[in-house]
């Protein structure tokens, strides 16, 4: 028998997951949100918030919704924010999601369709959920727990608080962003519309895992220009831009790739390539916990581009780099209230919270570094994110909501 809040989270998640919100990094520079489906979910959230009686809502043109609940205390305390993003990734298809509920997991492998199966032996976390509720895909898309599980948990807490006026709390902000998966969700964030002193992204993974440190991240775009000639008369004249790009990619250290690194080790990743023998565009993702090392990686790619030009005479290779987000650990240490209250809330609930590194980033990382608001990340219960083998555990979603409520309670007593 599910608790009322667990049932509410489940129904919300199923409703949200079915909405097509896959973001598109090819148009995000000119269109925010990058896809119309993200507006569909944002508008639904606004409607549901108003039905709860929450009317102090800002809807920003960049695809950000900020809902505020006034304090019901007789003294002033710091304002707390909770944030989640509505878009899903495009690593595998993220639209047309058909979530399937497993009411009582039997502890074995989970067939998704005739081709794909979630293997128990490859998913150690499954063992703790035998007899409990899981949500999976039909094997054709990702599920979208990143981050619709976070959205559902925040909305369920907002409903409880609005329905039960006896629950004491300070001023709260519930923030929903778009295009997080493209790295552009905070490019036009309306910081002047928020007042939170500290915030939490509900955008993590396995149960009880919390995070206050993430990668520094850069996106590097390299354009290769070749020299076009008829192939029959190409000797000594043609310079193939695809060959230049292949040389460039093959020169990246394999030992410093995503598939060869973990823990604190950073990486180079050739992510997308488009073009012809004449013109090629290559996008690379660079990650490292140490900012100096990240900058060294950027410099290495610039030198590699010069090497490509030297080897392929008359070919050109131009490099543009952009820091997408910074490690949020420094702000977390400078303003410890967010982590202190998170740890205290976990202790009160008897949750064995485990601090981990984010080998990625969150909107909270940019909030921390751009506006000096500490913004740790809290688990949602999603696993195998960005893949067709994604699964989510309802008990973990419920625990996430419980932790949110306890953080609010801890804050109200300070």
So which residues are the catalytic ones?
A: 87, 180
DSSP characters over 138-160: -SSS---HHHHHHHHHHHHHHHH
Comparing C-alpha atoms, which of 401, 399, 338, 402 is closest to residue 154?
A: 401
Secondary structure of 37-85 as H, E, C letters: HHHHHHHHHHHHHHHCCCCCEEEECCCEEEEEECCCCCCCCCCEEEEEE
Comparing C-alpha atoms, which of 82, 16, 48, 74 is closest to residue 162?
A: 48
Nearest-angstrom CA–CA distance, 287 and 262:
11
Decide if 366 contacts 180 (C-beta within 8 A): no
How is residue 380 written in tokens? 């949602």
Neighbours of 320 (CB within 10 A): 9
How is residue 365 written in tokens? 């990382």
What is the length of the chain? 414
Provide, for the chain, the percentages of residues in helix, strand and coil under a 3-state DSSP scheme, each rounded to the nearest 5: 35, 25, 40
Comparing C-alpha atoms, which of 414, 412, 386 is closest to residue 73?
A: 412
Decide if 161 contacts 60 (C-beta within 8 A): no
To the nearest 10 degrees (0 to 180), the angle between helices 4-17 and 394-412 is: 110
Nearest-angstrom CA–CA distance, 340 and 362:
20
To the nearest 10 degrees (0 to 180), the angle between helices 241-250 and 291-311 is: 140
Nearest-angstrom CA–CA distance, 141 and 97:
6
H or E stretch at 325: strand 316-325
How is residue 181 written in tokens? 């998966």
């Amino acid at each position: 028998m599910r608790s009322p809040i667990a049932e509410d989270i489940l129904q919300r998640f199923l409703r949200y997951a079915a909405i097509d919100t896959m973001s598109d990094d090819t148009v995000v520079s000119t269109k925010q949100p990058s896809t119309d489906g993200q507006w569909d979910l944002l508008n639904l959230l606004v409607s549901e918030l108003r039905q709860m009686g929450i009317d102090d809502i800002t809807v920003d043109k960049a695809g950000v919704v900020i809902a505020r609940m006034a304090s019901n205390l007789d003294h002033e305390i710091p304002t707390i924010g909770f944030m989640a993003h509505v878009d899903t990734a495009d690593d595998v298809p993220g639209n047309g999601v058909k979530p399937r509920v497993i009411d009582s997991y039997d502890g074995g492998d989970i067939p998704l369709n005739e081709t794909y199966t979630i293997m128990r032996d490859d998913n150690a976390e499954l063992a703790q959920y035998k007899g409990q509720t899981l949500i999976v895909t039909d094997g054709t898309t990702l599920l979208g727990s990143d981050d619709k599980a976070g959205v559902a948990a925040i909305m369920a807490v907002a409903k409880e608080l609005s329905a039960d006026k006896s629950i004491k709390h300070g001023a709260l902000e519930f923030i929903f962003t778009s295009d997080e998966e493209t790295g552009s969700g905070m490019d036009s964030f309306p910081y002047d519309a928020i007042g939170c002193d500290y915030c939490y992204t509900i955008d993590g993974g396995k149960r009880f895992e919390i995070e206050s440190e993430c990668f520094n991240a850069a996106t590097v775009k390299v354009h290769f220009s070749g020299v076009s000639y008829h192939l029959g008369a190409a000797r000594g004249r043609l310079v193939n831009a695809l060959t230049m790009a292949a040389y460039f990619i093959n020169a990246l250290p394999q030992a410093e790739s995503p598939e060869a690194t973990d823990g604190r080790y950073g990486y180079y990743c050739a992510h997308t390539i488009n073009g012809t023998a004449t013109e090629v565009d290559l996008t690379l993702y660079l990650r490292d916990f140490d900012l100096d090392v990240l900058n060294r990686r950027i410099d290495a790619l610039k030198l590699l581009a010069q090497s490509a030009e030297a080897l392929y005479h008359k070919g050109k290779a131009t490099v543009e780099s952009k820091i997408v987000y910074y490690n949020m650990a420094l702000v977390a240490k400078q303003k410890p209230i967010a982590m202190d209250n998170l740890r205290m809330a976990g202790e009160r609930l008897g949750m064995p919270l485990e601090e981990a590194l984010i080998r990625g980033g969150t909107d909270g990382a940019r909030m921390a570094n751009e506006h000096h608001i500490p913004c740790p990340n809290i688990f949602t219960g999603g696993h195998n994110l960005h893949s067709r083998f994604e699964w989510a555990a309802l008990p973990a979603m419920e625990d996430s909501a419980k932790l949110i409520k306890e953080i609010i309670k801890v804050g109200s007593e300070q």
